[in-house]
């Protein structure tokens, strides 16, 4: 049985999801990020409140300090947000650079100053690999997979290669549609391009061939 505290967190996440019209998981992630800001990242929270950084910048700080101990998190935060620290970041202030650039700079700083976290971060992330199903409108749904980068890249490359091989003058499906059909056939029949090139019609989607 779940502890009362867990039930309370789930209830709050469910309520936030309803109010914000987002998924339960997205609401849970939002609560975790706001808790991290309020409990362990005072400089980031202050900068966010004053408008000096955006929410995306704050999320980056949460992500990059998640694997660090309190001292390491404080050092990373001070480097970018405290001009009076011993070794402040040079160049463009955090809030004035695009969020993706700040993410890259923060990640590089963390990896250089805390290299021992790299293997631990990968191991923790790999342990969290999963496949998720999200219903959508008009009779559609999303299937997403969280995988190690090498595996995901191989799946994407293989799916793209097969899809490109199916393109031709009589093929009306776009490459994105072909990727979806190739992946569906591979998962549901154990085949893939063989099923799509004229073999037996893959089950469960008999009218998809010429769309």
Interior/surface letters 101-119, b for 16+ CB within 10 angstroms, e for the rest: ebbebbeebbeeebeebee
E strand or H helix at 30, and its extent?
Answer: helix 24-40
Average pLDDT for 192-200: 48
Average pLDDT, whole number, for the chain?
A: 81
Q: Tell me, what's the pLDDT at 172?
A: 92
Rounded Cα distance between 52 and 172, Å, is 49
3-state secondary structure of 69: coil
Please state whether the predicted TM-score (pTM) of the whole model is above 0.85.
no
Share of the chain above pLDDT 70, in %: 83
Find out whether 77 and 65 touch, Cβ atoms under 8 Å: yes
Give the confidence band of 112 by pLDDT, cuts at 50, 70, 90. confident
Contact present, 67 and 22 (Cβ < 8 Å): no
Q: If DSSP codes are grouped into helix, strand and coil, which group holds residue 141? A: strand
pLDDT band at residue 192 using 50, 70 and 90 as cut-offs: very low
> Is 26:17 a contact under the CB 8 Å cutoff?
yes
Between 117-121, 150-154, 173-177, 199-203, the lowest mean confidence (pLDDT) is in: 199-203
| Rounded Cα distance, 151 and 110, in Å | 25
CA–CA distances in Å: residue 183 to residues 116, 120, 139, 149, 158: 37, 31, 19, 18, 10
């Amino acid at each position: 049985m779940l502890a009362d505290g867990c039930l309370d967190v789930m209830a709050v996440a469910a309520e936030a999801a309803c109010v914000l019209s987002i998924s339960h998981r997205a609401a849970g992630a939002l609560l975790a990020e706001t808790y991290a800001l309020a409990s362990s990242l005072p400089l980031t929270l202050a900068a966010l409140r004053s408008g000096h950084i955006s929410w995306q910048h704050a999320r980056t700080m949460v992500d990059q300090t998640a694997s660090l101990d309190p001292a390491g998190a404080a050092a990373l935060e001070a480097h970018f947000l405290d001009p009076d620290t011993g070794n402040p970041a040079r160049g463009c202030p955090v809030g004035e650079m695009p969020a993706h650039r700040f993410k890259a700079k923060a990640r590089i700083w963390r990896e250089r100053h805390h290299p021992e976290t790299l293997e631990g971060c990968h191991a923790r992330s790999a342990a969290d690999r999963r496949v998720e199903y999200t219903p959508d409108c008009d009779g559609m749904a999303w299937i997403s997979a969280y995988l190690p980068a090498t595996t995901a890249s191989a799946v994407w490359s293989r799916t793209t290669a097969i899809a490109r091989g199916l393109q031709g003058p009589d093929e009306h499906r776009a490459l994105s549609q072909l990727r979806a059909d190739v992946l569906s056939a591979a998962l549901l029949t154990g085949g893939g391009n063989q099923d799509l090139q004229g073999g037996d019609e893959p089950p469960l989607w008999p009218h998809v061939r010429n769309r």
